[in-house]
Chains A and B, each alone.
Chain A
Amino acid sequence: MTIRVELPQHLRTLAQVGREVQLDVAAPVTLRSVLDTLEAKYPVLRGTIRDHVTLQRRAFLRFFACEEDLSHQSPDAPLPDAVVSGKEPLLVIGAIAGG
């Protein structure tokens, strides 16, 4: 299945990609399988979204799709059908900081 992932600007620059990347991800499509595929295709992103060792989401990043915050769901939970079908992208978003 072709999954669409939108990256924040700094990670686009780092991976030398545009706003959205498309990934062929084998079922089941989960946060873990999408991020594993993303990091395999763009190794420079390893460690920038998840910790190298624990694979925990970095604290200031969030995952959204279909207007839902998926950041706290299990990495092995299925992603929404609209993401699996390619209708909607999975969004990797940097937390907004400042005052």
Chain B
Amino acid sequence: MSKVRVLVGTRKGAFILTSDGKREKWDVTGPHFAGWEMYHLKGSPADPNRIYASQTSGWFGQIIQVSNDGGKTWEAPGGGMPAPGDGGMPPKISNKFVYDTSAETGKPLTTHQWYDGTQHPWEFKRVWHLEPSLTDPDTVYAGVEDAAIFSSTDGGKSWHELAGLRGHGTGPKWQPGAGGMCLHTIILDPSNPKRIFIAISAAGAFRTDDGGKTWKPINRGLHSQYIPDPKAEVGHCVHHVAMNPKRPNVLFMQKHWDIMRSDDAGDSWKEVSGNIPTDFGFVIDIHAHEPDTIYVVPIKSDSEHFVPEGKLRVYRSRSGGNEWEPLTKGLPQKDCYVNVLRDAMAVDSLDKCGIYFGTTGGQVYASADAGDTWAPIVRDLPAVYSVEVQTLS
């Protein structure tokens, strides 16, 4: 019998929800790490009981937590005492994210644009997103603020920057959005282990084809009216990108405004907002079995971060974009003013495909029929930052 495990990161702790394949009754555990901001939790595809979590605080900084039993117990890897076999060597430091510097000068690799237009050094703030390897439970990538990508090959004990992303030349043009300059999306290509996609607010999308040594911007076709050159190579506020692993060359993007599609692994994009009432939003995800079935949650505007008309509506396109239908059954259709943040939607791989999303009002809604009907599977949590789903056999 299949099971589903939903990993929920919130503003004040993490929660884990489990159900059988019917997805009707849910057990909730938590809060794990009560009182801490839990930006993201994600399980390893290679070992589903290995879960990585980003625990962060404005007071105490960044902690990485790892569970090896599906979220029942946790440890900060490398945070303990030296192991007997380590010869007294100090433990590695799992929360140490230090940006690379120039090998020649020892100075910072680059600077980025600050709000006032001046150049500003990179300063680590937190981990927004953790992306475990598709094949190795000990390998995991971290997207951080200020924007950079780090990797760990020892189960999160130590981290090293893939500095080619910041060093490729456009770094001085990147700038923070209202939420900071964060690398929030990491997508691993299951058909090409050397290819990784990432996205940054507000720089845009980037791709490596050599395992992270070199990167290039993939923003051709994006149009952002709020930047001096609307078609610039970088500077676009990409909110989220999604890929169906069965069709890795096709990407869907929720940009600040605009829903975009690429059929060539990001080399070019075209708008597929179509008939959607507002194309501002944060989340975007794809049906597990139907690569042209896309889900978004339209948000009223960038100055009013809540759903339009007090109605929480998921929009679904079954045609790969342009033609969208509202999904409302089971969702509040009056007096609702929540937001759905960029990492707060996920899908399971059961048949029928389950869709899940969390709101800033603390509800996690699920649909066990690909979006036709919805129900809250937990409510009144702290504001939801992230939702990930594991389908367990």
- Chain A positions within 8 Å of B, measured between CB atoms, are 8-11, 14, 40, 43-44, 46-49, 51-53, 58, 60-61, 94-95, 97
B60 partner, pick from A11, A40, A43, beta carbons under 8 A: A11
CB of B366 to closest CB in A, whole Å: 31
Asked if A48 contacts B96 (CB within 8 A), the reply is: no
Q: Which of B95-133 contact A (CB under 8 A)?
A: 95-96, 98
Assuming the A-B contacts A10-B36, A43-B90, are A52 and B59 also in contact, with contact meaning beta carbons closer than 8 angstroms in the complex?
Answer: no
Q: Which residues of B contact A95 (CB under 8 A)?
A: 59
Q: Which residues of A contact B62 (CB under 8 A)?
A: 47
A27 to B96, CA, bound (A): 29
Q: Which residues of B contact A58 (CB under 8 A)?
A: 59-61
CB of B87 to closest CB in A, whole Å: 16
Q: Helix, strand, loop or mixed for chain A's interface?
A: loop
Q: Which residues of B contact A52 (CB under 8 A)?
A: 93, 95-96, 98
Q: Which of B14-22, B72-80, B277-285, B309-317 forms part of the interface with chain A?
A: B72-80
Q: Which residues of B contact A97 (CB under 8 A)?
A: 58
Asked if B60 contacts A10 (CB within 8 A), the reply is: yes
In this complex, the interface size class of chain B, counting residues with CB under 8 Å from chain A, is 20 to 34
CB of A38 to closest CB in B, whole Å: 13
Q: Which of B182-235 contact A (CB under 8 A)?
A: none
Q: Which residues of B contact A47 (CB under 8 A)?
A: 61-62, 93, 95-96
Indicate whether B1 reaches chain A with its CB closer than 8 angstroms: no
Indicate whether B172 reaches chain A with its CB closer than 8 angstroms: no
Asked if B59 contacts A43 (CB within 8 A), the reply is: no
Specify the chain B residue showing the minimal Cβ separation from A50.
B61
Q: Which residues of B contact A43 (CB under 8 A)?
A: 78-81, 90-91, 93
5 contacts between A and B (CB under 8 A): A9-B35, A10-B36, A14-B60, A49-B60, A58-B61
Indicate whether B139 reaches chain A with its CB closer than 8 angstroms: no
Asked if B95 contacts A14 (CB within 8 A), the reply is: no
Give the one of B60, B79, B91, B96 with max A CB within 10 A: B60
CB of B76 to closest CB in A, whole Å: 5
Q: Which residues of B contact A44 (CB under 8 A)?
A: 63, 76, 79-80
Q: Which residues of A contact B61 (CB under 8 A)?
A: 47-48, 51, 58
A10 to B56, CA, bound (A): 11
